[in-house]
Amino acid sequence: MTKTQVGFEHNLEEKASELIENGFCVLKDMLDPDILKLTREVSMEAVAALSSEQLEATRTPGTLINSNKHPGLADLVGNPKALAALEAMGFGGSKFWKAVIISKPGPSPRLYWHQDCMWWDDPRAYSDYSPMIFLMYYLDDTTRNNGCLRLIPGTHRKWHSLHGTGTAHTPDINRGDDMNDPRFADYPDEVDVPIKAGDLVIGDARLFHATHANLTHENRTVITIWFHPLFEDLAEETQSWIHHAFHKDHSGWPVEALDKVQPVIPDYRGTVEPPEFNRQPDKGRLGQKE
């Protein structure tokens, strides 16, 4: 693969290696300014509709607004530049579950360390090609001061003490009832990922990630999009769950919005029922962190 093959400034072969080895990579300048503007408008409207009780319930992550009622996100989800990059990186055939509008109020505390993989029963969970990845588009420039992303490279494939500390997104950790929980601590192997608005972080859902606190008085917003690369190569159970979850959430989107995400709509036609998902890896099947 060459730099010019798909019209990108990035060497996508290198980016694919970073994603596989470290669990993430950053692609610069991936968003058309019109789509960025539209996404900001959609997000601001969605955030403004939340009550103070809703904001309090998710004090540490920030808002967790499902894309189901926000078809205005379709251009972002179907962004052809990102889909072409994934294809060229060997993560093509990606299918979409949902997007989440995450606006961290200014000020608000740090987000706890967590990994989001729900497919630890799928054989792909112990391979180079994760069953689940995130595309994070930040709508604001981020720094340590306004709550940029933090990651622990390698934890998508190796056991870390954080694996034993609890499941993501339970009500107590989302409220931040105990800020002394080890999931709010600093770790020596963590890295900051400050971003420019319009850049794209592609990450492995198995990777431990968190954020700094937002110390400013401005909201800091990211749209997290959950994709399932090489969908048809996943276990049928996994395909079935993703298919049903996508359609349950997005069947109410207007046809014009569905058209924009058409290439990433899951289309499982088998008869396997959606299974229970599993968010916890098998320690014996993960490598050990050196």
Ligand X SMILES: O=C(O)CCC(=O)C(=O)O
**Could you list the residues that contact ligand X (CB under 6 A)?**
100, 102, 104, 111, 116, 149, 209, 211, 222, 224
Provide, rounded to whole angstroms, the least separation between the CB of residue 26 and ligand X. 13
Closest separation between CB of residue 30 and ligand X, Å? 16
Considering the complex, what minimum distance in angstroms separates the CB of residue 169 from ligand X? 9
CB of 31 to ligand X, least distance (A): 16
- Asked if residues 175 and 132 have their Cβ atoms less than 8 Å apart, the reply is no
Stretch (H or E) spanning 76: helix 74-77
Nearer to ligand X, 42 or 100 (CB): 100
Closest CB to ligand X among residues 56, 232: 56
Residue nearest to ligand X (CB): 224
CB 95, CB 266: distance < 8 Å:
yes
Which C-beta is closer to ligand X: that of 206 or that of 240? Answer: 206
Q: Which two tokens stand for residue 275?
A: 């299974």
d(CA 143, CA 192): 8
Query: Closest CB to ligand X among 222 and 257?
Result: 222
**What is the closest distance, in whole angstroms, from the C-beta atom of residue 94 to ligand X in the complex?**
17
DSSP 3-59: TTTTT-SS-HHHHHHHHHHHSEEEESS-S-HHHHHHHHHHHHHHHHT--HHHHHHTT
How many Å apart are CA 85 and CA 3, to the nearest integer? 11
Closer to ligand X by CB, 27 or 111: give it. Answer: 111
